[in-house]
Amino acid sequence: AQSVTQLDSQVPVFEEAPVELRCNYSSSVSVYLFWYVQYPNQGLQLLLKYLSGSTLVKGINGFEAEFNKSQTSFHLRKPSVHISDTAEYFCAVSDALGDFGNEKLTFGTGTRLTIIP
Amino acid sequence: DGGITQSPKYLFRKEGQNVTLSCEQNLNHDAMYWYRQDPGQGLRLIYYSQIVNDFQKGDIAEGYSVSREKKESFPLTVTSAQKNPTAFYLCASNPTGPGLPTPDTEAFFGQGTRLTVV
């Protein structure tokens, strides 16, 4: 079984400043990793995912994340945030064994990113 | 356009009543999921189904029931046995199959249903 830890429940950041949202995972097998964004009263939208290959993954809206296997981390970064980035961000993990989709996603508790004008 | 549709967006229920939340997808995905979201707790898996006429309990299945009679549909019933049903419910789907996922394979989420018990 896997688990995901998002250490920061809330992160306030000034507009145009850089941001890093932290995610650590625990698993005894290889994993796929995901970051989702949720705007108020809406579903989740995929920002980016790590499946294999390059450990630096680029996603939508200028976000990127780096998979670090030795530190079991998948931190999300953006060099300059905008007001429109205010949302809740979820890190998720699934086992990378067998057929894709047969292993369900395990989510972290989320990080609320607030951009200060 | 393909996607997942959840209805209704807002739902009110009296205590002791059962209520069914709808989830329909036209993405031709085999796997479908129901999650419950509470403040500060992230998403918790209620039930999931990887094929028609088959489904499995997730982490918090007590007080809920599902059916999967069609590939496109995965309705969730919140029964009177669910002690604290007020929450935001999210439905998701993704394709399944052998081998590594492609860059296009991901879980798609509906817009959610906010259930309030009054």
Three-class HEC string of A3-72: EEECCCCEEEEECCCCEEECCEEECCCCEEEEEEEECCCCCEEEEEEECCCCCEEECHHHCEEEEECCCC
> Is A51 in Cβ contact with B111 (below 8 Å)?
no
| Residue A25 scores a pLDDT above 80 | yes
pLDDT of residue B95: 80
pLDDT of residue B98: 58
Residue B25, both tokens = 């997808």
Q: Higher confidence at residue A102 or residue A116?
A: A116
The predicted-structure confidence for A80-97, as pLDDT tens digits, reads as follows 999 999 999 999 998 876
* Partner B contacted by A10 (CB < 8 A): no
pLDDT of residue B40: 80
Residues making up chain B, counted from first to last:
118
Q: Which residue of A has its CA nearest to B33?
A: A104
> Is A105 in Cβ contact with B96 (below 8 Å)?
no
> Is A108 in Cβ contact with B42 (below 8 Å)?
yes
Q: How far is A71 from chain B (nearest CA, A)?
A: 23
The predicted-structure confidence for B56-87, as pLDDT tens digits, reads as follows 999 999 999 999 999 999 999 999 888 899 99
Which of the residue ranges A16-20, A32-36, A38-42 would you say has the lowest mean pLDDT? A38-42
CA distances from B50 to B37, B60, B67, B98, B113 (A): 21, 18, 12, 13, 22
pLDDT of residue A63: 97
For residues B19-24, average pLDDT: 96
Q: Which of A36, A38, A39 is nearest to A48 (CA)?
A: A36
Task: Provide, for chain B, the percentages of residues in helix, strand and coil under a 3-state DSSP scheme, each rounded to the nearest 5.
Answer: 0, 50, 50
Please list, in sequence order, all residues whose beta carbon lies within 8 angstroms of the beta carbon of residue A3, skipping any fewer than 6 positions away.
A25, A26, A27, A106
